[in-house]
A and B are shown apart, each in its own frame.
Chain A
């Protein structure tokens, strides 16, 4: 049974710092992995999707990497801004299965 873990559960850093959020999964037979952002009381915004054959994806100040063999993904945020404050969720999709299996998220606070 696939389990997805995100560490740390919460993170508070000063504005301008580069930071890394971690996501690990127990079953490496994934189809893809997505990183989402969730703002309080709001919906989910997809940030990056990495197919199982890919190693990384980039969008602006965000870079997500995937290492299937070790069951890990990282989300790198460069030059963090207060507007980056949110909960970041990772979700994996298994081969031939449409269900997304989610981590509990990392709550990120960027202090001005």
Chain B
């Protein structure tokens, strides 16, 4: 059973370009979470999605950021018109359920975004 997969692992963009980060959850997991880790800081929750639904996007900036988890395919975190402050590591996690003692979140290796 493959773990959570994220690609690309490293992404370099110039200011104003778009960044697309992909996350494939573990097999059998239908809950996906995105977190952002700024340099020298802890992770911060961004968004929680289930298949075809955004459940909680309270941690995601209102402008330029969007996320989706389609019925087929990976979850996508999209950042439009990137700025230098978007440079960070973006981690995706998945869980089988969302509630109760067995809803452990499993993390992917992250995508490190660098904005030049």
Chain A proximity of B104: nearest CB distance (Å): 7
Chain B proximity of A8: nearest CB distance (Å): 14
Check A51/B101 contact, CB under 8 A, given A44-B91, A99-B45, A99-B48: yes
Q: How far is the CA of A24 from the CA of B103 in the complex (A)?
A: 23
- For this complex, into which size category does the number of interface residues on chain A fall? 20 to 34
B99 at the interface (CB under 8 A from A): yes
Q: Are A43 and B40 in contact (CB under 8 A)?
A: no
- CB within 8 A of A49: which of B41, B42, B99, B104? B104
B43 at the interface (CB under 8 A from A): yes
Q: Are B112 and A41 in contact (CB under 8 A)?
A: yes
Within 8 A of A (CB), among B66-113: 91, 95, 98-99, 101, 103-110, 112
Identify the stretch in A59-67, A77-85, A100-108 within 8 Å (CB) of chain B at 4 or more residues.
A100-108
Q: Are A98 and B108 in contact (CB under 8 A)?
A: no
Chain A proximity of B12: nearest CB distance (Å): 15
Q: Are A100 and B105 in contact (CB under 8 A)?
A: yes
What are 29 pairs between A and B in contact, CB < 8 Å? A32-B101, A41-B112, A42-B109, A43-B107, A43-B109, A43-B110, A44-B107, A44-B110, A46-B107, A89-B42, A89-B43, A91-B42, A91-B43, A96-B99, A98-B33, A98-B98, A98-B103, A98-B105, A99-B33, A99-B48, A99-B59, A100-B33, A100-B45, A100-B105, A102-B42, A102-B43, A104-B40, A104-B42, A105-B42
| B residues with CB within 8 A of A | 31, 33, 35, 40-45, 48, 56, 59, 91, 95, 98-99, 101, 103-110, 112
